C-alpha cells in the first residue's frame, strides 16, 4: 500500500494512540493542540490487530503511539520491519515503555517528553520511522 505523502513541511503529526495508551494521556496531548485519534474508538477488529492499526493509521496519515514492542507474535517493531521489506509507507511509530505510561506519576513526565519530541519533528520527518521516545 502506498499512502499519499504528507504535504512537505507539515509541522504537526496527526496521531493515533493504541489501546495500551490511557485515554487521559491521549486527551492531554489533544489539549496541547494535536490531532489525536484513539484506537479504542474504532471497530474491535482494528483494536485487536496491530497490522490493522498501522493500516488504519496510514490511511488516516497518522503516526501510531504504542507500548507494544515486546509481544513475540505481533508487535510494532516486527510490523515496521515487515513494511520496510515490502516498501510500504507509514506515517511513523512512536514507542513508549509500558512501565512509564502505566505509572500515573510518570505519565505526565512522559507527556512532556512526547510533546518535546513531536515539537522538534515535522510530520514528514516521522514518516516510515520507528522511534523510541527519548528518555530526556
* Domain presence at residue 7: no
pLDDT value at residue 2: 47
* Domain presence at residue 108: yes
State the residue range of the domain holding 37.
14-132
- Give me the percent of the chain exceeding a pLDDT of 90: 72
* Domain presence at residue 70: yes
Q: How far apart are CA 31 and CA 133, in angstroms?
A: 20
* Domain presence at residue 90: yes
Model's pTM, two decimal places? 0.89
Which of the four pLDDT bands, split at 50, 70 and 90, describes residue 24? very high
**46, pLDDT greater than 50:** yes
* Domain presence at residue 8: no
* Domain presence at residue 76: yes
**13, pLDDT greater than 80:** yes
| DSSP secondary structure letter of residue 135 | -
- Number of structural domains, the chain? 1
70 vs 2, higher pLDDT: 70
Q: In DSSP terms, which residues pair with 21 in a beta bridge?
A: none
Amino acid at each position: 500500500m502506498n499512502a499519499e505523502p504528507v504535504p512537505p513541511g507539515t509541522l504537526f503529526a496527526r496521531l493515533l494512540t493504541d489501546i495500551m495508551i490511557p485515554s487521559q494521556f491521549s486527551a492531554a496531548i489533544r489539549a496541547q493542540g494535536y490531532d489525536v485519534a484513539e484506537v479504542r474508538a474504532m471497530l474491535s477488529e482494528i483494536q485487536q490487530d496491530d497490522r490493522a492499526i498501522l493500516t488504519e493509521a496510514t490511511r488516516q496519515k497518522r503516526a501510531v503511539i504504542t507500548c507494544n514492542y515486546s509481544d513475540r507474535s505481533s508487535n510494532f517493531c516486527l510490523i515496521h520491519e515487515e513494511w520496510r521489506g515490502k516498501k510500504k509507507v507509514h506515517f511513523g511509530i512512536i514507542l513508549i515503555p509500558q512501565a512509564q505510561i502505566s505509572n500515573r506519576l510518570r505519565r505526565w513526565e512522559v507527556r512532556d517528553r512526547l510533546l518535546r519530541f513531536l515539537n522538534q519533528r515535522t510530520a514528514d520527518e516521522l514518516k516510515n520511522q520507528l522511534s523510541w521516545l527519548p528518555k530526556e
